[in-house]
Every structure is written in C-alpha cells, then in structure tokens.
Structure 1
Amino acid sequence: MADADGPSTKPPVENVEEEVLTKPEDSQTDDFDIKSHTFEIPNKKISLPTDVPAWEKSEAYRDLVGFICAISEAVKSKKIRDNYPISETITRLVGLLDTMSQWVEEIPPIDQPQRFGNKAFKDFYDRLKDKSETLLKGVLDEKLHAAVPEIAVYLQEGIGNDTRIDYGTGHELSFVAFLCCLFKIGALQEEDAVAVALQVFQRYLVLVRKLQQIYRMEPAGSQGVWSLDDHQFIPFIWGSSQLLGHKRILPKSFVNPDIYQNFDKDYMFLGCIKYIDSVKTGPFAEHSNQLWNISGVKEWQKVNSGLIKMYKAEVLAKFPVVQHFLFGSLLPLVPANVT
C-alpha cells in the first residue's frame, strides 16, 4: 500500500486528453410523445465483431455516451451528502432498489459443491423478471406505463446473467441504459441529473455488490489485474468528476486508506476503492494495477476525461461486452443523425 501521500512515480493512464462534456439536458429526447410512440421489447442485434462499428455510429451509442458525459458534468465537485433536488421519482427508484435488496434476505444462497455462482441467484432473477413491470409501474406516472415493458428489460439485464451467474460492465451498461431511458421518456428531468447518480446509481452499487457477495457471482469479461475493476467502470467516471477541484484529495491520494476509509460516503470513486480493498488481498499496485497507474495522473480533470476515453475503448468497443446489449425503440441500432 502507498504511503500517506500516495505513490511517487508510476506510468500515467494512457490517452488522457480533455473531453468536451455535454450538458444534462442534451441527453433528453425533445418533444417525446408517449401516446404516438411505438415501444418494443429490446433484443440482441450485435452478433459478430463486424457489427461493432455500426454500434459505435448508432443512435443508441450516441445517446448513452452523451448521457454518461452529461451526468459526469452534472455531479462535478458535488458530494453524495450535499443538498440537491431529490424528486419523488428519485425517491421511488431508490425504494425499488431497496425492495430488490430485501429479496436477497428472502432468497438466501443454497448449499452447493461449487464455490462460485450460487444457483439461488436464478431464483432472485426470476423474481425480478416476474415483478419488474409491477415495480416500475409503482415508480412511474400512469401516463408513462406504456414504456414499462421496454425499460423493464434494461433493469433486469442490469443485475447480472442468470445462466452464467456473473456480473460485469455489460450489465452495468444495461442499468445505465435503464436510467437513460427514464430521461428519454420524461420520467426524469434535468434537475434529477445529480440525484440519479449520487442517489439512484449509488444505491444500485450497494445492491450489485451485495448480489456479488451473497451469490458469489463471477466477474463477467474481467481482464484480471489489467482491468480497471472486476465489475464496475461508470462509478469511476462519475466519481472522478465529483472530485474535480478538491483541494485535499488529489489522484495520488485515493490509494491512501485514511482517505478512502474516511471519505467513501461522500465520493463514489473512494467508495469503489474501499470496496476493492475489502474484497481483495495483497498490495494495491498488484491487484488493481490500472487504478494504481491512474493515481499517478496529476489532476482529476485528466483522470475524468481519460476514463471516458478508456471506457469507449475498453468497454463500448469490445465485442465480448456489447454483444449482449439489447436494442429497442428508445435506444435503437440505427445510424445517428450527424449534425
């Protein structure tokens, strides 16, 4: 582990450049008319590696990247426990995730020979599939219920795979798609941008970590010590934005236990580091080499923009990850309009 000031020298994260971020309102669909819109159940459309370029030029890709960047901009220099608008819909979404967390208590892991992939997760997943539409109807105004069958699929996909009993950045992307769709249909508004990350997504992280631990879920598509994290990526993007301009917590500081143990409740990035430290053993530089490298970057702005570029290259451009993504009417695999 590093000393109190963090590591002294190490290679910087690659391709760290300034990234022009969009505004939160740019991720919303203008003049969305739910009465005239034809919803569809999302389905798989990326079957071969040669399909990836079409995905990278699609409306779905543009909207998801725009959404991620918009939320990153919205949470800039904000703490989880700061004051910001929390709408009734945000409160209901957190309640939905609380309900799902309670299910874990009601569906305990079973005794089985293999150490990983507890089959009780299949029962959890079946319950979510059975109840997700009802839960979402309890969150959304009745006028938005026509969208529920489509967006419920992203909620289901967002917690892991019930066959492989694994979880990774592809599942995380599905939950981000779920949140993006809520903005697109008008269930969430521009003023919800901060809370959707620091309340809803933060609660989602607590849930999926609980699922990983209780049901011993395998990392999906992990690259071992060379990956950013076994399971997550988005909280490092949004979490690094939270730390922009912080006078005390610099990138070199986040590997210091005194920092992540004392500031994890206010900063998503530090919460991730604390969680990693709790589930992995050995020197941080060995089990989380990419994060160790990132702590050598001087400024959080460089970390944030570099992580966005890394996410595009190491998650969104990887066929093993995006082959599982599902496309519907709200996030279609059609060419994006070029303006």
Structure 2
Amino acid sequence: MDSPAPQARGFPRLELWDPSVPQEFMQPKKEINDGSDLTRFFTTNAYRDIGIFLMQLNRSLCPRKRPDDTVQTFELSRKREDSQSVLSLQALLGRVEALIDDAPPDPGPRRFGNIAFRKWHELLGQQVAVLLTEFLSREIMMFGQDMGECFVKEDTEEAGKHGVVGPFAELESYFIGSFGSAQRLDYGTGHELSFLAFLGCLWKLGFFKDDTRTREGETERSIVLGVFEPYFKVVRRLILTYTLEPAGTHGVWGLDDHFFMPYIFGSAQLTRPITEEEPMPLEGSVPGAPKPADVTKAATVELYREENMYFAAIGFINDVKKGPFWEHSPILFDISGIKDGWGKINKGMLKMFDAEVLGKFPVVQHFRFGKLFSWDVDPNAPAVQHTVHTVQQPVAPKSSAVPGVGTAAPWAKHQAAPPMSGAAALRAQPAPPNPLYSEASIPASTGEIPGPLPRGIPGTASAQHSITKAPWAA
C-alpha cells in the first residue's frame, strides 16, 4: 500500500491504497466483546486510522492565514467547488433521506422510538446494494481485484467462485451501521463513528482522488462540510421522525444525547488562524468569532447555526429540549464558560472523544473490523498506559464467551455483558495511547497531555465519575 505525499510538514494523513496491489477484503466482524478486547483495540490499525482521519479532517477546518495577510474561514454556507465524489455522496444521502417518505411513522402512542423506523431500516437494507453501486464508482467496487466483471451483493456467489471478495461488504457494513439501530430504535456516537469509518474506507480506496485542487485541506473540507453536515441533517430528521432514543447516553451528564463530531468540527471552524505549516492551535479564536458563551443565547445560536457545525448542533438541542440551557445541557454549559477561545475547546473535544467514544466499551463494542479498518495490531502502537478512562469495562470469561456478546448492535442479537461491580470495578484497565494527540499535532513546548483531573465540587460536571471530565474543568 502506498501513502500519499505528506500533508504540509508531515502532518499525518490516512494512507491511500494502491489499486494495483491485490487485496483480500472480508465481511467485517465484531471483535470487542469485553474489557480486555477494548484494551487490544487501542493497539490496532483501526484505532490508529480512526485517530489519523479525524485529526486530518479536523485540521482542514481551522481558519488559514494567507500570504496576503488575509484570513480564510470555512463556513457551511460558503460556496464550495465540491468534486464529483462529494456530489455523489450528497445524492446518496438524499436518496437515503427520501426513504423516510416510504416509511411514515406509526401513529400509535408509545414512550420510546417509533417502530416504523424498523421499516425504514429494512428499506435501506434492501436498497443499499443498488445505492452504493449507483453512487460509488466501478473502480471502488473492484478495488484490488483481478476480475473482469464488477460485483456487488447480488454477485457474491459468482465472485466467490473466482476466490474474490471485494470491498462492498465492508462499505455496506459501515454505511448501514451509520443510521442507528433497528432493534433498539436508537442512534448515538457509535453510529456516527461508523459513518466516519465509511468515509475513511472511501478515502483509502481513492474515491476522493478526483478532487484535483492543490491547496492543502480542500478535499477534507469538502468531506466535512459537503458530506458530514448533510449526513447529520438526515440523521436529525430520522431522530425527529421516529423519536429515536439516545444510544449509550450519559443522560444529563453527557455532552449530547446523540452526537459528538459536530462539536469537534464546529469548534475547529472557529479556532485561531494558522498557516499551512502550523499545527492546530490549542487556544484562541478567529477574529469575529462568536464567544463560547453565545451558545446559551437562542437568538445567537439561530444566527450562526447555518454557518457553523457547533452552533447547528446546539440549535438542534434547542429544537427538541425546553427549559434553561444549563439545566438540560450542563456539560455544554460548562464549556460555554471557557475564556481561552475555541482552540481550547477543540483540543478538549478531541480528548473527550478519545475517552468517551473510542475509550468506552458500550460504544465501540458495536464497531466491526475488516480489511480497511483492521483488528491487526499496529507494530508502531505506543505502550498502553493505565488510567481511569477504562475502569468499569465489562469482562466476559473466555470459557463461556459467546461471539457477539454485548449490547446488541444493528447486526447482533445478544445482550450486554454485565458491568463489573465492587472492587473489580476499581481495577484500572490500560488506556488508549491516544493517536488524536500525536507528536505531529502538538508543539513540543506544550509537554504532556494532562491526565484525568480529581473529583470536583458536588453537583458540578467536574464531580462526575461516569464521564470523562472536560479538560478545562476546574
């Protein structure tokens, strides 16, 4: 596999695979069944690649200092010259959203998710092969294969006769997994992670190589603003239409009931400007940016929600929740008090994502591993350190473990393994080496990334043990 040219002074980028090299793809498998598997996850190629791709997308959104001393910012509404690959994914998402009209919500009263969502998910499953074949190129479907005919789901048997397994199974798994659980009638950060993996697969397979613009980060910006934001809009409509439950939520002490990535990307849009050679700023804001405290002002949120992904996410909260902001969203309210700017918030969001999404068993147990996001151990993975972030992970005895144990993902049928309790819960498990903060992304002068801070004042976010305390909390 070949890697592309380094991105501006060696900032890491997700590798591009060489289509001339034969590849053996596979049906993605569930590998994380208990806490020990979670520890192994932190050393895998998949964990490394998720971190690299997220940082790559994140940095692309940071405002840029240009040679003429101007500053370029990247708003949602700004006119872009999206490539055909991005336009194809927008059309794909449009077709996915249109399926809602074919599965209207059931009118019967119920407390939890609307059962018509299962019909919608069934329609998506029935049409996914046709949709992916229509909107992804033949070169993607045949990537790394020496076979004269394109094959997708309908051609699996014929392809198998030739000993061929293409990337369709992996793309399908991550794509279907991006739109919530038909069994649990919920949506959460694990599904959001699946969409990141779907786009990461396409990146590796060279789907976005048709973007011929030479300015650093243009392709990545189009992926976030032109694909991720339309995806969030589709999911928000699904949540509202089918009253989907939050998946794996911390309740009032979670960052958001359903999402995490809009806060990463949205804070990156507002950070202090950098040159193409600089790493992400760790503090400061772009001139003219709204203040973090403005997220508590409904009128200001409405003003910026069409421009910025962070404010768009806050706007959706305001659409579905009533009452004081500090009461229904205390973590976001805490963050709104940050005085060091959006760069500090962006840094903290990345750390929280690593701990609260990638580092939490209830979330990543749903993730599937194939060839593109591999369970294989990364030979360059740093040593795993012990921390509180992986305390209270479930343990499944190997002698009685059943494949698929865990909270049922959209493709699973087994129930969750019980959490540890008592003294067992206090035994710290190894924590992720955190590729989201590599040496390439942090100036040497900043030193070590601080670990978890001590318990704070009762009744505040800093007192919570069930979540990772925000890195800026006192």
Q: Deviations over 1:66-121 (max 9, x none)?
A: 11111010111311122444011100101111111111012101133423221111
| Alignment coverage as a number of residue pairs | 319
Q: Please give the secondary structure, in 2, of the residue aligned with 1:203.
A: helix
- Cross-structure match for 1:310: 352
Asked if 1 retains the 8 angstrom alpha-carbon contact of 2:90 and 2:230, the reply is yes
1:334 Cα deviation from its structure 2 partner:
1.4
Distance 1:250 1:113 in 2: 41
Distance 1:273 1:113 in 2: 28
- Cross-structure match for 1:195: 222
1:26 Cα deviation from its structure 2 partner:
3.4
Pair 1:107 & 2:103 matched:
yes
- After the TM superposition, which parts of structure 1 deviate over 6 Å for at least 4 consecutive aligned residues? 21-25
Backbone CA RMSD of aligned residues: 1.9
- Cross-structure match for 2:32: 46
Pair 1:279 & 2:317 matched:
no
Distance 2:187 2:374 in 1: 24
Please, which moves more after superposition, 56-65 or 250-259? 250-259
Q: Which has the higher contact order (CA 8 A, sep 6+)?
A: 1
Asked if 1 retains the 8 angstrom alpha-carbon contact of 2:188 and 2:246, the reply is yes
* CA separation of 1:34 and 1:303: change in aligned 2, threshold 3 A: farther
Distance 1:149 1:332 in 2: 14
Pair 1:206 & 2:192 matched:
no
- Cross-structure match for 1:233: 260
* CA separation of 1:23 and 1:112: change in aligned 2, threshold 3 A: farther
Pair 1:328 & 2:370 matched:
yes
Instruction: Work out which of the residue numbers 186, 193, 199 in structure 2 matches 1:166.
Output: 186
Pair 1:98 & 2:94 matched:
yes
Instruction: Work out which of the residue numbers 45, 49, 52 in structure 2 matches 1:59.
Output: 45
* CA separation of 1:48 and 1:64: change in aligned 2, threshold 3 A: same
Please, which moves more after superposition, 242-251 or 199-208? 242-251
- Cross-structure match for 2:56: 70
Q: Please give the secondary structure, in 2, of the residue aligned with 1:167.
A: strand
1:192 Cα deviation from its structure 2 partner:
2.0
Distance 2:33 2:262 in 1: 28
Distance 2:23 2:120 in 1: 32
- Cross-structure match for 1:126: 122
Letter in 2 for 1:47: N
Letter in 2 for 1:197: V
Asked if 2 retains the 8 angstrom alpha-carbon contact of 1:23 and 1:74, the reply is no
Alignment of structure 1 residues 260-279 onto 2, 5 Å: 260-279=301-320
Distance 2:10 2:91 in 1: 24
Calculate the TM-score normalised by the size of structure 2.
0.65
Asked if 2 retains the 8 angstrom alpha-carbon contact of 1:75 and 1:241, the reply is yes
Asked if 2 retains the 8 angstrom alpha-carbon contact of 1:24 and 1:193, the reply is no
Letter in 2 for 1:237: I
Letter in 2 for 1:152: E
Distance 1:74 1:247 in 2: 19
Distance 1:176 1:246 in 2: 30
Asked if 2 retains the 8 angstrom alpha-carbon contact of 1:22 and 1:66, the reply is no
Distance 1:34 1:300 in 2: 43
* CA separation of 1:98 and 1:24: change in aligned 2, threshold 3 A: farther
1:31 Cα deviation from its structure 2 partner:
4.2
Distance 1:290 1:23 in 2: 36
* CA separation of 1:133 and 1:218: change in aligned 2, threshold 3 A: same
* CA separation of 1:253 and 1:22: change in aligned 2, threshold 3 A: farther
Letter in 2 for 1:310: M
Identity, in percent, stands at: 35
Calculate the TM-score normalised by the size of structure 1.
0.90
1:33 Cα deviation from its structure 2 partner:
2.4
* CA separation of 1:304 and 1:23: change in aligned 2, threshold 3 A: farther
Asked if 2 retains the 8 angstrom alpha-carbon contact of 1:27 and 1:180, the reply is no
- Cross-structure match for 1:157: 177
Letter in 1 for 2:26: E
Asked if 2 retains the 8 angstrom alpha-carbon contact of 1:22 and 1:70, the reply is no
* CA separation of 1:37 and 1:154: change in aligned 2, threshold 3 A: same
- Cross-structure match for 1:185: 205
Letter in 1 for 2:172: A
Please identify the structure whose Cα radius of gyration is greater. Answer: 2
Distance 1:148 1:336 in 2: 24
- Cross-structure match for 1:8: none
Distance 1:248 1:329 in 2: 42
Letter in 2 for 1:182: L
- Cross-structure match for 1:215: 242
* CA separation of 1:210 and 1:23: change in aligned 2, threshold 3 A: farther
Q: Which has the higher helix share?
A: 1
Q: Please give the secondary structure, in 2, of the residue aligned with 1:136.
A: helix
Please, which moves more after superposition, 306-315 or 135-144? 135-144
1:337 Cα deviation from its structure 2 partner:
3.1
Asked if 1 retains the 8 angstrom alpha-carbon contact of 2:102 and 2:120, the reply is no
